Amino acid sequence: MKKKARLSVNIPTIEEVENEKKRLRHRANYRKTLRGTIAVLLVVAAVSVLVATLWMPVLQIYGKSMNPTLENGQIVVSVKTNDLKTGEVVAFWQGNKLLVKRVIAGLGEWVDISADGTVSVDGEELTEDYLDEKSLGHCDIELPHQVEESHWFLMGDNREASVDSRTETIGDISKDQIEGKIVFRIWPINKFGSIQ
């Protein structure tokens, strides 16, 4: 008579079964949470891109025409608007380039710049605390200059180096060219804050 081979089967204990159930539940919850988190991150990223594109473009400054207010490499946030005031810093399109300058005068006002770089608007000298130094810079327009209707006269804060509305190449900037008002600097961190 042949002996039957016995199979050795390990039957798990109740504690092992409970631990395995907990592990499987934890894994299912982890996957569910991970999928939810990824979905939320995708929605937040899409909304951020939409906001940055439509209402609050983020721009990086290139060049030195706005020194000392804005320096090369700094990153700023702008708000899309055509409601501008004298003294505000704006981004505008010139051809296919996005430039950043300061609003000096607008909508029919008269601009005059003396040989030492002192700027007057409608006969009143501007107080320009944001400048390190005044300069006439490159100016090939006839002064005094009356700003065209629905246009703005813009100048960089580094008057010696800036190419702006003082030149026929740039001239007065139309409302259609305005991308938005620069409101906030986000980089570098030590200069984080609003733009004056």
pLDDT in tens, 35-54: 888 888 887 776 666 555 55
pLDDT value at position 111? 93
Percent of the chain with pLDDT over 90: 23
pLDDT value at position 6? 65
Residues 77-116 pLDDT 10s: 888 877 888 889 999 888 888 889 999 998 889 999 999 9
Instruction: Tell me the average pLDDT of the chain.
Output: 84
**Whole-model pTM?**
0.69
In the chain, which ranges are continuous DSSP H helix?
14-54
Q: What is the DSSP letter of 176?
A: G
CA distance 180 to 150: 15
Coil/strand/helix, residue 178: strand
Confidence at 173, pLDDT banded by 50, 70, 90: very high
